[in-house]
Amino acid sequence: MSGEYGIAYFDENGFVRKVCSRCGSRFWTRDPERDTCGDAPCDTYTFIGAPLFREHSAEELREKFLSFFESRNHKRLSRYPVVARWRDDIYLNIASIANFQPLITSGSVPPPANPLVISQPCIRLEDLESIGKSGRHLTMFEMMGHHAFNKRGGDEIYWKNETVQYCDEFLKQLGVPPTSVTYKEAPWVGGGNAGPCLEVIVGGLELATLVFMDLEAVYEKGEISIDGQWYRKMETYIVDTGYGLERFVWASKGTPTVYDAIFPEVIDELLSSIGLEHPMQSYGNELIEIARLCGVMKRKELEKKFQSRLGDFFRRIMAPMETVYAIADHTRCLAFMLADGVVPSNAKEGYLARLVIRRTLRMLNSLQCEMPVEELVALHIKLMHDSFPELEDSVDRINEILALERSRYRDTLSKGERIVKQMLKKEKELSVDTLIDLYDTHGIPPEFVKEVASSAGNIEVDVPEDFYSLVAKLHGAEEQHHAPEPELARLHDRIRAIPKTARLYYEEPFSKDFDATVLDCFDNFIVLDRTLFYPEGGGQPADTGILGNNLKVVAVRDVDGVILHEIEGDTSGISPGMHVRGSIDSRRRIAHMRHHSATHIVIWAARKVLGGHIWQAGAQKGELRSRLDITHFKRITDDERRKIELLANEMVMRNEDIKATFMERNEAERRYGFQIYQGGVPPGKELRIVEIGNCEDVQACAGTHCTKTGEVGPIKLLRTERIQDGIERLWFSAGEAAVRAIQTRDALIKKSASVLRIPEERLPASVERFFDEWKQLRKENERLRAEIAGLRVEQLRMRAMDMRGVKVISEVVADATMKDLMRMASQLSDEGFVTLLISGMTGNVVCSVPASAPAVVNAAEVVTNVTSVLGGRGGGTARSARGGGNRLDKVEAAKEAGLKTIASRLA
RNA sequence: GGGCUCGUAGCUCAGCGGAAGAGUGCCUCCUUCGCGAGGAGGAAGCCACGGGUUCGAAUCCCGUCGAGUCCA
């Protein structure tokens, strides 16, 4: 790819291309003496303690960057959320370009502006273990980026030359000495795209990455291969730059770590709460020396190098300091995640939030820091007020969520403590497999197990260093890219030339019949020029109905805007050019329509009642009922459910307009924000926006809707269900279906009341009374049976026979249960009788042999012989055995068989 | 989206095919000036729910509901 880096700006500005003497990479520099690329691990962090340009705050630097590009014709965009709501392949926003993937980068949707500049908060959790230790890793960081989207054959906005020029000029404006900058060549790969790239390095630190994205991944063999993956040139070629805001600020301050540069107030707060001082106070010079080497040497090597000078400095001072750094980092990350609406849970992005929360709690605990995590998050939000005032709107909710998470984790750990203690009672040591199991199924971290084991049982537990990767291995690595299904590809080819179908169902949502011309007919599919049939999509099922001469439409699909009517049966009578009449099952359609509008109303009401974090996590509309999954951090109470229901019905009664308009995508996002993507992200540059009332609820939605909320009819919330931690499912019915649902419930109550012969309103009290009485009678019955068994024992005792000096009882008891038999037999055998009892009612058999009887009588053998007569089986020990059979007519014969067995043994 | 675990007395749990158990809390009595403590006795269970297998299910299998947890 060496040809990719022939850039005029380098030639015209005295740059030379060199090869790094350490790593062999090629790089560009103005300094002819330089022979290393400048990047770690080839060079040290020279800027620490000696910054290369004037000190900047984050606000200052961000503003400089944005206005620099603004004055160079770039449009400034405000930040996107850190949760990637518009993508289904990633949960969190990992880069500024992620905002524009995949629809804009692929060229199918135009960019919101071109060129543009943005500073995007991003979250990456891959290097979780390095946070706090490396001095440079952050879970949450701002990627400042300027982007230009070019199309082959179109007018080029700009490409490599301008990109390098902008970068160089920006650095110059900041006051970075030109000779200290190197541009290192490095191919870039990510998110299904790739391209050549220049890493911009100053003072040993990579400050920015200039990516020239012009390749996309393909699944079959292609033109270019990188790391075993095939790529081809895209129709578009995109300038994707990433300037690390925090790194610039760090470089400008020259502090030992990036953390000290970005959130020193939080670090101070933490240090003072645990009574520690910052190592800069007493070990300033050493710390700077160490920090400079951080990119070059591994931790072990550093410790060895400073061992003689500093003793156990790393263990005593650096280790807690690193934890402080990590906590300060994690809490800043949480501020963004939670403010942007992530609900902690055990799945999807919610799990990532919980992961960060629990790590933070564990670390706070290890420092014995009493400070609640929510206070630290609130402090971050306060400190970032000037840059991100919107975070403050969520402070109350964040407090509630974090307090809840704290108590949940406390519960998990105290339960874990019990489990481990229980285990230690039985086992002397805990294997690695046990540790993995404890973590995997109960969430008990091995460090915690070790602690419990040594304090409670004085048992040492070895936690392997690669513990967490062992856990990861257990879950295996699946994740494969799915090539598009061949069936769909075939359909795409077939309909390529067909014009998009006119959608009559939007203009005439209540119509039933229509006329149309057949454009194509193949397999079982009919394509028309216009249709009333709604294709399946957005959780709304397709319409059914009739086409032409009684052809049954069983499914309807939308492929690239062409609507395919799937027919059950013979379509041979249909050919292109024919005129056909269609009619849909309008009763079904109207039911779907009501449920669809009701879905929007319910989520609006839920958001009003529960809070702004409510987000649709899935939905399915039906004729009789629909379901809506929403993100929420605790169970919805009955009271909340009633409030939501009432509010939704108030919206219906207000009879507000439901307006659907087509709108340019960027315009819609600008006007309404990302909340329009509740039901996922539809493709295309134009969106259909459905608005209820005056912006009460706005969603991008292709479904059919009522035109007034009043047409929806009554909305009945049937039940709530927790389908996952952090996701509640609401079941509801609308319109006619709601009335029917209410009637069904009514009938249930009526029927129950009539069975008990009481008025409906007495139902709860009476049911409770009946239940209590039933419990009492059950006990009474139990007591009486025991009494009867006692009386029977006396009778049985008198009927005992003597077999060679051994007292034997073998009797059929008419109406005894298994429990009765056991009760009697055990008492009799205690008194020295060899006892065999058979129930004439249930066919149960019990044999009990007293300890005093000769060992030759085997209860299990007796029972086996007896039950074989009864047509059943049984078993037990030589002293006591049970069994049974269902041939109740054979009980007398069975008794004789038992007696015979006993007699033969005593003979 | 995938995996694992758990629902038994008010609470914490044992039992894992043959009469529902322990600890703790609760009630009564004894000991004590009283408290703590100790002793004796007692009450308290739809063994989550619904099916199936079995002579027999808290126990095994399937489903439902509820809870916990790990991974992508």
In 3D space, the residue among A345, A338, A340 whose CA is nearest the CA of residue A726 turns out to be A345
pLDDT, tens only, A840-876: 989 999 999 998 888 889 999 999 999 999 999 998 8
Residue A172 has pLDDT above 80, yes or no: yes
Through-space separation of residue A253 CA and nucleotide B33 C1' in angstroms: 75
Give residue A478's pLDDT band: very low, low, confident or very high (50, 70, 90).
very low
A793-906: CATH topology is: Diaminopimelate Epimerase; Chain A, domain 1 (3.10.310)
Percent of chain A with pLDDT over 70: 98
The structural domains of chain A, with segments of one domain joined by +, span 44-254, 263-412, 427-480, 486-584, 589-741, 793-906
CA A778 to chain centroid, in Å, comes to 47
Using the CB atom, is residue A320 less than 7 Å from strand B?
no
pLDDT at position A480 is 41
Residue A896 has pLDDT above 80, yes or no: yes
Listing DSSP states for A628-640 in one string gives: EEEE-SSPPPHHH
Using the CB atom, is residue A55 less than 7 Å from strand B?
no
A571 φ/ψ angles, rounded to the nearest 5 degrees: -110, 15
Length of chain A: 907
Please, what is the end-to-end C-alpha distance for chain A in angstroms?
100
pLDDT at position A485 is 58
A446-456 helix and A395-426 helix, angle to the nearest 10 degrees: 50
pLDDT at position A518 is 94
Using the CB atom, is residue A581 less than 7 Å from strand B?
no
pLDDT at position A227 is 75
A586-610 helix and A638-654 helix, angle to the nearest 10 degrees: 120
pLDDT at position A479 is 43
A373-383 helix and A348-366 helix, angle to the nearest 10 degrees: 110
Through-space separation of residue A407 CA and nucleotide B34 C1' in angstroms: 40
CATH number of A589-741: 3.30.980.10
Using the CB atom, is residue A422 less than 7 Å from strand B?
yes
Distance CA A174, CA A206 (A): 16
Q: Which residues contact A489 (CB under 8 A, 6 or more apart)?
A: none
Using the CB atom, is residue A641 less than 7 Å from strand B?
no
Residue A482 has pLDDT above 70, yes or no: no
pLDDT at position A835 is 94
Through-space separation of residue A874 CA and nucleotide B52 C1' in angstroms: 21
pLDDT, tens only, A119-141: 999 999 988 888 998 899 999 99
Give residue A476's pLDDT band: very low, low, confident or very high (50, 70, 90).
low
Distance CA A664, CA A684 (A): 9
Using the CB atom, is residue A409 less than 7 Å from strand B?
yes
Through-space separation of residue A3 CA and nucleotide B36 C1' in angstroms: 89
A446-456 helix and A432-442 helix, angle to the nearest 10 degrees: 120
* Average pLDDT score over chain A: 90
Give residue A21's pLDDT band: very low, low, confident or very high (50, 70, 90).
very high
3-state secondary structure of A451: helix
pLDDT, tens only, A556-586: 998 888 999 999 888 888 889 999 999 999 9
User: Between vectors from CA A201 to CA A195 and to CA A206, what angle results, nearest 5°?
Assistant: 75
Using the CB atom, is residue A285 less than 7 Å from strand B?
no
Q: Which nucleotide is nearest to A876 (CA to C1')?
A: B18
pLDDT at position A571 is 84
Chain A span 761-780 residues with beta carbon within 7 Å of strand B = 771, 775, 779
Using the CB atom, is residue A750 less than 7 Å from strand B?
no
Q: Given CA atoms A365, A371, A372, A376 in this order, what sign does their dihedral have?
A: negative
pLDDT, tens only, A805-826: 899 999 999 888 899 999 899 8
pLDDT at position A223 is 77
pLDDT at position A489 is 72
Q: Which nucleotide is nearest to A436 (CA to C1')?
A: B70
Distance CA A682, CA A680 (A): 6
To the nearest 10°, report the CA torsion of A451, A457, A459, A464: -40
Class of domain A486-584: mainly beta
Separation in Å, CA A329 to CA A261, A326, A394, A740, A808: 12, 5, 19, 54, 81
Through-space separation of residue A774 CA and nucleotide B42 C1' in angstroms: 22
Residue A345 has pLDDT above 60, yes or no: yes
Residue A48 has pLDDT above 60, yes or no: yes
Q: Which nucleotide is nearest to A629 (CA to C1')?
A: B1
Q: According to the per-residue pLDDT averaged within each range, which of A62-71, A289-298, A666-675, A698-707 is highest?
A: A62-71
In 3D space, the residue among A817, A824, A822, A819 whose CA is nearest the CA of residue A789 turns out to be A824
In 3D space, the residue among A167, A208, A204, A182 whose CA is nearest the CA of residue A29 turns out to be A182
Distance CA A326, CA A204 (A): 23
Better-predicted residue by pLDDT, A479 or A464? A464
pLDDT, tens only, A829-838: 988 999 999 9
Q: Which nucleotide is nearest to A842 (CA to C1')?
A: B55
CA A144 to chain centroid, in Å, comes to 28
Element (H, E) at A512: none
Q: Is residue A545 a contact partner of residue A584, using CB atoms and an 8 Å limit?
A: yes
pLDDT, tens only, A272-317: 999 999 999 988 888 999 999 988 888 888 888 888 888 888 888 8
In 3D space, the residue among A673, A665, A661, A690 whose CA is nearest the CA of residue A601 turns out to be A690
pLDDT, tens only, A377-401: 999 999 999 999 999 999 999 999 9
Strands (E) located in A136-204: 140-151, 181-185, 188-190, 193-195, 197-202
pLDDT, tens only, A647-681: 999 999 999 999 999 999 889 988 998 889 887 77
In 3D space, the residue among A717, A714, A686 whose CA is nearest the CA of residue A702 turns out to be A686
In single-letter form, the type of residue at position A362 comes to R
Distance CA A808, CA A461 (A): 58
Distance CA A702, CA A682 (A): 8
In 3D space, the residue among A553, A558, A551 whose CA is nearest the CA of residue A543 turns out to be A553
Using the CB atom, is residue A437 less than 7 Å from strand B?
yes
Percent of chain A with pLDDT over 90: 61
Q: Given CA atoms A211, A213, A214, A219 in this order, what sign does their dihedral have?
A: positive
In single-letter form, the type of residue at position A887 comes to R
Separation in Å, CA A784 to CA A265, A695, A789, A821: 75, 71, 9, 14
CATH number of A44-254: 3.30.930.10
Distance CA A610, CA A600 (A): 15
Through-space separation of residue A736 CA and nucleotide B65 C1' in angstroms: 28
Using the CB atom, is residue A361 less than 7 Å from strand B?
no
Q: Could you tell me the two tokens for A36? A: 């290393």
Q: Given the structure tokens 């039940």, which residue do they identify? A: A719
pLDDT, tens only, A622-634: 999 999 999 999 8
Which bases of chain B are contacted by protein, using any atom under 7 A from a CB? 1-5, 12-14, 18-20, 44-46, 54-56, 65-72
Separation in Å, CA A195 to CA A210, A260, A584, A607, A684: 10, 34, 51, 43, 25
Chain A span 613-632 residues with beta carbon within 7 Å of strand B = 618
